[in-house]
């Protein structure tokens, strides 16, 4: 076997030709390296010494290389980190080994790679087959806050209605911040073997960051300060942010919390007093729907494999209710602001209409939660009970 380098220097890429020839050579077969670069013989000999290959000069001065054992030895104990195509059986590991580290799914991992401290390594906890499709939708649906919202639209609201909008936006920013922090925390604990889930959590965090931005910007459109943040509202969100278990956090946040939140955003869109509020509520709701769908999908899969996990979810909902029992829950300011915005004016008839609309909103939220719980296999009665226990802060 022979390889021709011409006048290409060994250091100029010639070593790739030699490596390729060595790979193709039979074990023990010498490869004759031909070339006229002035330092070729020196470089080849030095390289062979460092790589553990055998170097020699044949009769008439031909440079000969035969493969040493080191390269093959390095990859002897290597293993594939699953397979790139998730539809293949076994492509996504049921439990991703820590030694696979950051290796791309489907890559070949050298034995002895360092173990990473990933906490979320079980497919059952995190996986949903729809993650790939949801990520693709999210990537395609990214909108630019600067152009997607008619920030310059002309509108003029009564002062108290504008104040009510500011209060609602203040509340939304707080909730979106929780919705950003929860996936971000788990993202940093997730084994990257579950690549699509990792990407989905990342784009969710980015979406939530944008929601924080547009709600803040709407609040400051006509005012120079934000509204009030209540102790009860924060206590409710704190119990979400601090939940250490992914599946339970996902259940409380995505299925119960964002499920309710989604109904609230569509309510705001429908009764928005101005085009900017309407646009920010609609765009956020469209994004949010994906994360509710993901939460439902991976929890359904989880429960199919481990139905015994369902009582733990119920217990988590009850415990959260107990934790929050002594807090005020939803702040009065937000409920009043929602009523005023839904009323659209101070006329008693308008206020009564606003009240009916808010009552309808609460009923719609309850229906959405019960529907989600039923899709997770909870019986109607327990679904109704757990939905009733859900925080009065909505999220």
Query: Among residues 25, 80, 110, 309, which is the contact residue for other proteins, using CB under 8 A?
Result: 110
Q: Is 56 in the site for other proteins (CB under 8 A)?
A: no
Minimum CB separation of residue 247 from Fe ion in Å reads: 20
Cβ-based burial of 61 (10 A; exposed 0-12, middle 13-18, buried ≥19): exposed
Site string for other proteins, 57-86 (x = CB under 8 A): -----------xxx--xx-xx---------
> Among residue numbers 278 through 317, which ones bind other proteins (CB under 8 A)?
none
Q: How far apart are CA 242 and CA 142, in angstroms?
A: 29
Helix (H, G, I), strand (E, B) or coil at 79: strand
Q: Under a CB-based contact definition with an 8 Å cutoff, are residues 111 and 79 in contact?
A: yes
Q: Which is nearer to other proteins, 15 or 375 (CB)?
A: 15
Query: Among residues 24, 42, 57, 84, which is the contact residue for other proteins, using CB under 8 A?
Result: 42
Who's near 10: CB < 8 A, 6+ residues apart? 18, 35, 37, 39, 40, 43, 44, 47
Residue 304's binding partner among Fe ion, other proteins, none (Cβ under 5 to 8 angstroms by kind) is none
Minimum CB separation of residue 73 from Fe ion in Å reads: 52
Query: Among residues 19, 25, 32, 45, which is the contact residue for other proteins, using CB under 8 A?
Result: 45
Query: Among residues 51, 245, 366, 385, which is the contact residue for other proteins, using CB under 8 A?
Result: 51
Q: Under a CB-based contact definition with an 8 Å cutoff, are residues 14 and 42 in contact?
A: no
Q: What is the DSSP letter of 65?
A: E
What backbone phi and psi angles, to 5 degrees, belong to 277?
-60, -40
Q: Find residue 54's DSSP bridge partners.
A: 66
Residue 125's binding partner among other proteins, Fe ion, none (Cβ under 5 to 8 angstroms by kind) is none
Q: Is 112 in the site for other proteins (CB under 8 A)?
A: yes
**Binding segment for other proteins among 44-52, 142-150, 153-161, 320-328 (CB under 8 A)?**
44-52
Site size toward other proteins, by CB under 8 A: 25
* Positions of E strands within the chain: 2-4, 30-34, 54-57, 63-66, 79-80, 108-109
> Tokens 């209060």 identify what position?
167
Residue 208's binding partner among Fe ion, other proteins, none (Cβ under 5 to 8 angstroms by kind) is Fe ion
Residues that bind Fe ion (CB under 5 A): 176, 179, 208, 211
What backbone phi and psi angles, to 5 degrees, belong to 146?
-70, -30
> Among residue numbers 12 through 31, which ones bind other proteins (CB under 8 A)?
12
Task: Please report the DSSP string for 165-198 in residue order.
Answer: HHHHHHHHHHHHHHHHHHHHHHHTTB-TTSHHHH
Q: Which is nearer to other proteins, 52 or 244 (CB)?
A: 52
Q: Which residues bind other proteins (CB under 8 A)?
A: 9-12, 38-39, 42-43, 45-47, 49-52, 68-70, 73-74, 76-77, 110-112
């Amino acid at each position: 076997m022979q390889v021709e380098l011409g006048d290409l220097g060994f250091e100029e890429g010639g070593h790739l030709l030699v490596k390729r020839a060595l790979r193709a050579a039979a074990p023990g077969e010498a490869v004759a390296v031909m070339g006229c670069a002035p330092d070729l013989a020196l470089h080849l000999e030095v390289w062979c010494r460092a790589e553990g290959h055998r170097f020699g000069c044949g009769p008439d001065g031909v440079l000969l290389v035969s493969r040493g054992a080191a390269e093959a030895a390095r990859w002897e104990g290597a293993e594939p980190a699953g397979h790139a195509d998730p539809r293949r059986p076994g492509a996504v590991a049921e439990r991703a080994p820590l030694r696979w580290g950051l290796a791309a799914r489907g890559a070949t991992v050298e034995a002895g790679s360092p173990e990473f401290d990933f906490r979320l390594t079980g497919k059952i906890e995190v996986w949903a087959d729809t993650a790939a499709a949801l990520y693709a939708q999210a990537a395609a649906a990214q909108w630019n806050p600067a152009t997607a919202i008619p920030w310059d639209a002309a509108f003029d609201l009564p002062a108290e209605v504008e104040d009510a909008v500011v209060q609602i936006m203040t509340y939304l920013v707080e909730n979106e911040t929780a919705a950003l922090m929860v996936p971000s925390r788990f993202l940093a604990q997730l084994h990257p073997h579950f690549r699509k889930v990792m990407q989905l959590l990342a784009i969710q965090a980015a979406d939530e960051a944008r929601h924080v931005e547009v709600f803040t910007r709407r609040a400051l459109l006509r005012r120079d300060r934000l509204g009030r943040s209540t102790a009860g509202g924060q206590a409710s969100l704190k119990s979400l942010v601090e939940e250490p278990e992914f599946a339970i956090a996902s259940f409380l946040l995505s299925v119960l919390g964002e499920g309710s939140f989604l109904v609230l955003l569509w309510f705001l869109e429908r009764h928005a007093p101005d085009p900017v509020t309407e646009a920010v509520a609609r765009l956020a709701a469209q994004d949010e729907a994906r994360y509710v769908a993901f939460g439902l999908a991976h929890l359904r899969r989880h429960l199919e494999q481990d139905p015994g996990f369902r009582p733990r979810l119920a217990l988590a909902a009850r415990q959260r209710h107990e934790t929050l029992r002594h807090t005020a829950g939803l702040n009065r300011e937000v409920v009043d602001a929602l009523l005023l915005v839904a009323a659209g004016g101070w006329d008693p008839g308008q206020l009564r209409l606003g009240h009916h609309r808010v009552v309808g909103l609460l009923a719609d939220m309850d229906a959405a939660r019960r529907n989600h719980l039923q899709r997770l296999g909870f019986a109607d009665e327990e679904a109704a009970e757990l939905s009733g226990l859900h925080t009065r802060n909505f999220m």
